[in-house]
Amino acid sequence: MMEAIRRGGEEAHEAALTLGLLIEREKVNRPAGDDGGISVILGDEFAKRRLSETELKTAVDELIKYIQGTNDPIPTAIWALTKSYDPRIVPYLIEFLNKVLSDPAKEQLAYLALLGIINTGVSSSYKSDSLAAIRNAAEHGQGIVTETATNYLKLFSNTG
């Protein structure tokens, strides 16, 4: 799947979507028999496919390398990486967010990175770095990035 992601195009989007759903299925606890809709979205071929711990780690490592190695990753690759909820992704998401934050053309990418930081970073050992990145996004982001970061900081200051 990573080869298709690196090549780009519609195949890349489909590969990243598939990989993200497979990663998410391994990381999210669901009631028995609930596959999170993966069989409906991806079909029977992937409904039975499970990632081992090694495959999961490799997928996350490869997505990190991909995001670091391109100036314009496909959005579903960022989304797929965030589905791992793995704290080791946080520094890379922060780095990526800072790289694209001021570019209005990359607002969607910045938004996806911000959501990953909020969902994983704040509850990890990267809490202070994550909050600093969220503050930076509130001050220097574009559109939905600024709005989301600002609203999160308001909520966070009331709860946490």
Please check the confidence at residue 29 and state whether its pLDDT lies above 70: no
What is the DSSP code (8-state) at residue 145? H
Per residue in 68-104, pLDDT (tens digit) is 998 889 999 999 999 999 999 999 999 999 999 999 9
Rounded to whole angstroms, the Cα distance separating 70 from 65 reads 9
Per residue in 36-79, pLDDT (tens digit) is 666 667 777 777 778 889 999 999 999 999 999 988 899 999 99
Please check the confidence at residue 159 and state whether its pLDDT lies above 70: no
The confidence band for 134, taking pLDDT boundaries of 50, 70 and 90, is very high
Rounded to whole angstroms, the Cα distance separating 112 from 20 reads 13
Contact 83, 120 (CB under 8 A): no
Rounded to whole angstroms, the Cα distance separating 147 from 54 reads 37
The confidence band for 31, taking pLDDT boundaries of 50, 70 and 90, is low
The confidence band for 30, taking pLDDT boundaries of 50, 70 and 90, is low
Query: For residues 23-52, b (16+ Cβ closer than 10 Å) or e, as one string?
Result: bbbeeeeeeeeeeeebeeebeeebeeeebe
Rounded to whole angstroms, the Cα distance separating 117 from 111 reads 10
Question: What pLDDT is attached to residue 50?
Answer: 80
CB-based burial label for 115 (10 Å; 0-12, 13-18, 19+): middle
Amino acid at the residue 145: V
Give the whole-number percent of the chain exceeding pLDDT 90. Answer: 62
Q: Hey, where are the domains in the chain?
A: 1-85, 87-160
The three-point CA angle 70-99-139 to 5° equals 155
Rounded to whole angstroms, the Cα distance separating 65 from 28 reads 24
Please check the confidence at residue 26 and state whether its pLDDT lies above 60: yes
Residue 123 token pair = 């509850």
Give the whole-number percent of the chain exceeding pLDDT 70. Answer: 89
What is the DSSP code (8-state) at residue 88? G
Question: What pLDDT is attached to residue 32?
Answer: 56
The confidence band for 133, taking pLDDT boundaries of 50, 70 and 90, is very high
Share the mean pLDDT of the chain. Answer: 89
